[in-house]
Amino acid sequence: MTQEYIIGIANFIARYLSYMLGAGVHTSRVVRNSKRIGTALGVDVSIHTSQKTATLTVSDHDGQVFSTKVVDIPAFPISFEWNADLSALSWAAHDEKLSLEAIEHKFDEIISKPRMNPIFVLFMASLANASFCRLFGGDIWAMLITFTATMVGFFTRQHLTRRKVNHYIVFIVSAFVASICASTALALGIETAEIALATSVLYLVPGVPLINGLIDITDGHIQIGISRFVNAFMLIICIAIGMSVTLMLVKDSLL
Amino acid sequence: MIAIDIISDGLFAAVAAMGFGAISDPPLRAFPYIAVLAAVGHASRYCLMNFLGVDIVTASLVAAFIIGTGSVFFGRKVFCPMTVLYIPALLPMVPGTYAYKTVFSLIMFFHEISSPTKGNEYLQEMIFNGAVSFSVLFMLAVGATIPVFLLRERANSMTRGSKFI
């Protein structure tokens, strides 16, 4: 096994795992999949992960030839499609004994697939929040207001994210925008106005990092698990800050 | 009438799960299963809470366990890892009103900080609501993760032989 071959594999696996970790896949799955690809190509892979970087060593079975890399983890938007398809790629590499070139080719195909249409996502998220409002006991008017408020808030979020604004600021601003839109329900005198106000910001809840953090901790990847948990917790605090600004403005009509 | 309540509860939970799922860009083939899991999970929590008088934390744990177990069996059909199916399905169970009341009571506590009786009441309310929302969130994650430990072999080979890459 030559040094060049090992370096080639290390470069690919580094890219593979940074994409998976960046797109919000829990750590034990990423490690398992990367090792599986390594096994398929006849090498050993050891990985250390943290929130922003990952380190990996690829070596042959005797440990005579090896390559070590430290990779930065890019911040991709969460993608379940990559999660599913990149996991499937590791099984395909394992079961069909694909060559490194074939795996790289399939990898490029998977990551260049277009994401879901942002306008469709906007519509779905608004619809989701409106039905959420119904689950908490809101009436039809509260639902309509939640729908509109979410649409405005989510639109703000999409645009600020595209402009690469700091994500804490994105969360504060979008929580504020959504809740101030929903607070019109108070002015209109709708009975379940408070429920509309409460649900309008819930589209921001960072469910994926929260649950991933917990899965990582229970899997023994405690460091990265706590990092993700803290990260999600910070985002929840940002939502609370954005909403408190609205509450301070309208609290007199809530009592 | 009761049946209609349960069905509509499941239906709205399904819409909510698909919408929140769409934010995280799941594969299109996963949507129907996300909807089914969310509907079953939320409706069972609704039944537990309203007809059996179970508290919200325990009911969430049971519902999350049902969702997690369901995702083991559905995941194999659409070649998706369990998390892809169960995270969106859990989102409609996030305790939104409790979380809102936590923030609201905190703000009101600051507002009434000079009046000891009212300030105390709001602080108490904040701790009450905060405890409920934190426990429900925690139990949702735990409940859905238990099946991963029970069915480890099956849970780790969900995407094997996928036709979609």
The ipTM is: 0.88
A195 burial level (CB within 10 Å; 0-12, 13-18, 19+): buried
pLDDT digits (tens, 9 = 90+) for B3-38: 899 999 999 999 999 999 999 999 999 999 999 999
A80 burial level (CB within 10 Å; 0-12, 13-18, 19+): buried
Positive/negative CA dihedral, B76, B79, B81, B82:
negative
Q: Does A111 touch chain B (CB under 8 A)?
A: no
Residues of B in contact with A202 (CB under 8 A): 94, 96
Residues of B in contact with A136 (CB under 8 A): 96-97
The distance of A186 to chain B (nearest Cα, Å) reads 15
Strand order in the sheet with A44-49: A44-49, A53-59, A66-72
Retrieve residue B19's tokens.
Answer: 């919408």
Segment 57-76 of chain B within 8 Å of chain A by CB: none
pLDDT digits (tens, 9 = 90+) for A135-189: 998 899 999 999 999 999 999 999 999 999 999 999 999 999 999 999 988 888 8
Segment 89-148 of chain B within 8 Å of chain A by CB: 90-92, 94, 96-97, 99-101, 103-104, 106-108, 111, 137-138, 140-142, 144-145, 148
Q: What is the pLDDT of residue B158?
A: 84
Residues of B in contact with A90 (CB under 8 A): 159
Mean pLDDT of B96-120: 89
Cβ–Cβ gap B13/A195 under 8 Å: no
Cβ–Cβ gap A128/B15 under 8 Å: yes
Cβ–Cβ gap A210/B141 under 8 Å: yes
Q: Please say whether the beta carbons of B57 and A111 come within 8 A.
A: no
Cβ–Cβ gap A110/B164 under 8 Å: no
Q: What is the pLDDT of residue B2?
A: 86
- Residue B137's contacts (CB-CB under 8 Å, 6 or more residues apart) are A210, B94, B95
Q: Does A128 touch chain B (CB under 8 A)?
A: yes
Give dist(CA A243, CA B123) in Å, integer: 18
Chain B interface, best mutation among A132, A134, A243, by max B CB count within 10 A: A132
Work out the number of other CB atoms within 10 angstroms of the CB of residue B123: 16
Segment 62-81 of chain A within 8 Å of chain B by CB: 77-81
* pLDDT(B164) > 90: no
Residues of B in contact with A125 (CB under 8 A): 19-20, 22-23
- Residue B75's contacts (CB-CB under 8 Å, 6 or more residues apart) are B81, B82, B84, B85, B155, B158
Secondary structure (3-state) at A56: strand
Q: What is the pLDDT of residue B152?
A: 81
Q: What is the pLDDT of residue A178?
A: 95
Residue B130: name the closest of B89, B100, B165 by CA.
B100
Q: Please say whether the beta carbons of A59 and A39 come within 8 A.
A: no
Q: Does B22 touch chain A (CB under 8 A)?
A: yes
**Residue of B25, B103, B104 with shortest CB distance to A116:** B25
Give dist(CA B136, CA B95) in Å, integer: 7
The distance of A11 to chain B (nearest Cα, Å) reads 22
Residue A150: name the closest of A163, A169, A165, A133 by CA.
A133
Retrieve residue A225's tokens.
Answer: 């698990």
Residues of B in contact with A193 (CB under 8 A): none
Q: What is the pLDDT of residue B157?
A: 83
Q: What is the pLDDT of residue A81?
A: 92
**Residue of B16, B90, B159 with shortest CB distance to A128:** B16
Q: Does B17 touch chain A (CB under 8 A)?
A: yes
Q: What is the pLDDT of residue A13?
A: 95
* Residues A118, A122, A125, A131, Cα dihedral to 10°: -150
Residues of B in contact with A85 (CB under 8 A): 27, 159, 162, 164-165
Q: Please say whether the beta carbons of B62 and B44 come within 8 A.
A: yes
Residues (pLDDT < 50) of chain A are none
Give dist(CA A17, CA A63) in Å, integer: 22
**Domains of chain A: which residue ranges?**
3-111, 118-250
For residues B130-154, one letter each, b for 16 or more C-beta atoms within 10 angstroms of the residue's C-beta and e for the rest, the string is bebbebbbebbbbbbbebbeeeeee
